[in-house]
Structure 1
Amino acid sequence: MSEKKEQYYLPPPKLGKWEGFRKFLWDSDSSQFLGRTGASWAKIFIFYIIFYAALSGFFAAMLAVFYQTLNTKTPKWKLEESIIGTNPGLGFRPMPPESNVESTLIWYKGNDDNNYKYWAEEIDRFLEEYKKAGQTPGVGQNKVICDFNNPPAEGKVCDVPIKDWSPCISENGYNYKKSAPCIFLKLNKIFDWMPQFYNESSSLPDNMPEDLKNHIRDSNKPNELNTVWVSCEGENPADIEHVGPIQYIPRRGFPGYYFPFKNYEGYLSPILAIFFERPKTGVLINIECKAWAKNIKHDRADRRGSVHFELMID
């Protein structure tokens, strides 16, 4: 008597590639779509909804805790404790095109309107914040008109009037068409930094330009000596010879009533215009401008407390 053999598993029929793919997409025998039944897909879908909801909630909670430690108006690390430090730098405008982002050369043809137009438009863009309507004191802004006898009150900021800076005005094309251009300077902002002014003749440093020393000594308004002074000159003897006379508009520095920077709403960095009256044309002129205060250190290699640019007018 032969034993009856039981077969517990029958191998699936061999299917071709296309038939196997169709069966994977939808198996009518087991009602499976992509290898899972409807109930299986529902369970995994609900699992991932709960999982990602919990993950998002955890991330949002951690982000909320993190923002509780931040102050949008005041940095956590200031002055010596910050990466920026306590030594502000100078910036200049207009800047060369983005295609020459590493360049500091201002080069144009004074007799070509289209050529110098770029530089004038760059200054217009830079001064846009200073020209915006509605920023005039007395029209609901927290800006006030300041002078050395009337510094801003707590929470107020000083206006930076630029309308009467002729010839360094937009209507005049900032004098570029006359081959006597205006370059604008600004002091970089450092929160809570207060300059230590050179307001005594005996404290003037040896390396300060003589014309600036004389300007400070000849001042008959002691309170106006509370200024971060600015000097611009050619870097080398040939540059000094070619740069020609320079005017500082509206004054030779940044008034002390703009400091310290407290990040109050509407604050604008003080600026001034450097007017080159008769620079020599056809030659490259290296120019270095420095800001002067007792707590501003100068380092030409790192451009600390100073800025360098080149001027060339064809």
Structure 2
Amino acid sequence: MADKKPENQYYTRPPKLGTWESLRIFIWNSETGQFLGRTGSSWAKILLFYILFYIVLIGFFSAMLVVFFQTLDYKVPKWQLDSSLIGSNPGLGFRPMPPESNIESTLIWYKPSDIGNIQYWQKELNKFLVHYNKSNNPHADKLEDCPPHQRPSPGKVCNVQVDHTWGPCYPGEGFNYGSRDGGPCIFLKLNRIYNWLPEYYNDSNIDQVPTMKESLKKEIRSAPNNKIVWVTCEGENTADIEHIGPIRYIPQKGFPSQYFPYLNQEGYLSPLVAVHFEKPKRGVLINIECKAWAKNIKHDKADRRGSVHFELMVD
């Protein structure tokens, strides 16, 4: 019998398989030798392609990163002062900070009768001042006791000596950062800006500053050396001024010139001013604003440039 013509030949429909049977054949087809729809040689080719692809991709980006890091200096920022994001107008920082559970708060609430409360503030200040103790500083060999307004030796940085001369703001036993007398000590520091040098006020230019109080102008005129970034703290409102009480600045009322400029020196310590609020009004919330004073420090209350705000309450 003659073969049928090609146009009269038909393929039979494959048998209908169930879900599990189709899955079993997809995972391993014994007739074609396919695993997950591909033969062994097909899997080998695609795996080789992706291995080579990712090797080339990793090599390309590694080369780009090497080129990029060659343009960086880990000591000197590429963009400085006005060319940088932080600009050339330093702000002030204060310590101790309130608990992290209320991170947006700036309230320092001392409760002399609550041992746990006092211990928290002491612990925060101990943590902040740990590197100001030479025995705890890994770069103690870089620290040098600089005479006032005298730059350190090459390769050295000026030490900030927080010792018994700081009186009630000394962290030693029995002083407790002023809390023993109910008048706490708040530590101020100037924010670091690379290569920033202050332009100091002196007797010839302070009359051009209408926002500066006469008491500070008098101190500047009588100072033996005016190369200081001065610091003042006062109540923000009339009631705050009335309740804040006497203030003492330790070791002096500002940051002396030997600590400037900051050049990312190894072991550098930011200069500090401890502000001792000797007799604040008890049980009253006091709004306080502290300002740093130099010709090239502009004060902006909204952005807190050149100043810092916090609230103080002593029960």
Alignment match, 1:259 = 260
- What is the TM-score of this pair, normalised by structure 1? 0.92
Task: Single out whichever of 199-208 and 15-24 deviates more from structure 2.
Answer: 199-208
- What is the TM-score of this pair, normalised by structure 2? 0.92
In structure 2, relative to structure 1, the CA distance for the partners of 1:152 and 1:10 (3 Å cut) is farther
In structure 2, relative to structure 1, the CA distance for the partners of 1:230 and 1:109 (3 Å cut) is same
* Equivalent residue for 2:124, pick from 122, 125, 128: 122
Alignment match, 1:200 = 203
1:213 paired to 2:249: no
Q: What does 1:239-254 correspond to in 2, within 5 Å? A: 239-254=240-255
- Point out where structure 1 has 5 or more consecutive residues left out of the alignment: none
Task: Single out whichever of 172-181 and 182-191 deviates more from structure 2.
Answer: 172-181
Structure 1 vs Structure 2 CA RMSD: 2.0
Aligned residues with identical type, % of pairs: 60
Determine the C-alpha separation between the residues in 1 that align with 2:119 and 2:10. Answer: 90
* Equivalent residue for 2:91, pick from 89, 92, 95: 89
Contact 1:78 1:191 in 2 (8 A): yes
* Equivalent residue for 2:60, pick from 43, 58, 61: 58
Alignment match, 1:178 = 181
Alignment match, 1:35 = 37
Contact 1:113 1:177 in 2 (8 A): no
Contact 1:192 1:261 in 2 (8 A): yes
How far off its partner does 1:127 sit? 1.3
1:145 paired to 2:149: no
Contact 2:244 2:286 in 1 (8 A): yes
* Equivalent residue for 1:104, pick from 103, 106, 121: 106
Query: What is the one-letter code of the residue matched to 2:120?
Result: Y
Contact 2:160 2:269 in 1 (8 A): yes
How far off its partner does 1:5 sit? 4.8
Query: What is the one-letter code of the residue matched to 2:48?
Result: I
In structure 2, relative to structure 1, the CA distance for the partners of 1:202 and 1:3 (3 Å cut) is closer
Determine the C-alpha separation between the residues in 1 that align with 2:308 and 2:268. Answer: 23
Per-residue CA deviations over 1:192-222 (Å, capped at 9, x if unaligned) read 1100111325535332233322222223x23
Determine the C-alpha separation between the residues in 1 that align with 2:272 and 2:244. Answer: 21
How far off its partner does 1:166 sit? 2.3
Corresponding residue pairs, total: 309
- Point out where structure 2 has 5 or more consecutive residues left out of the alignment: none
Query: What is the one-letter code of the residue matched to 2:158?
Result: C
Q: Give the secondary structure class of the aligned counterpart of 2:169.
A: coil
In structure 2, relative to structure 1, the CA distance for the partners of 1:152 and 1:14 (3 Å cut) is same
Contact 1:201 1:217 in 2 (8 A): no
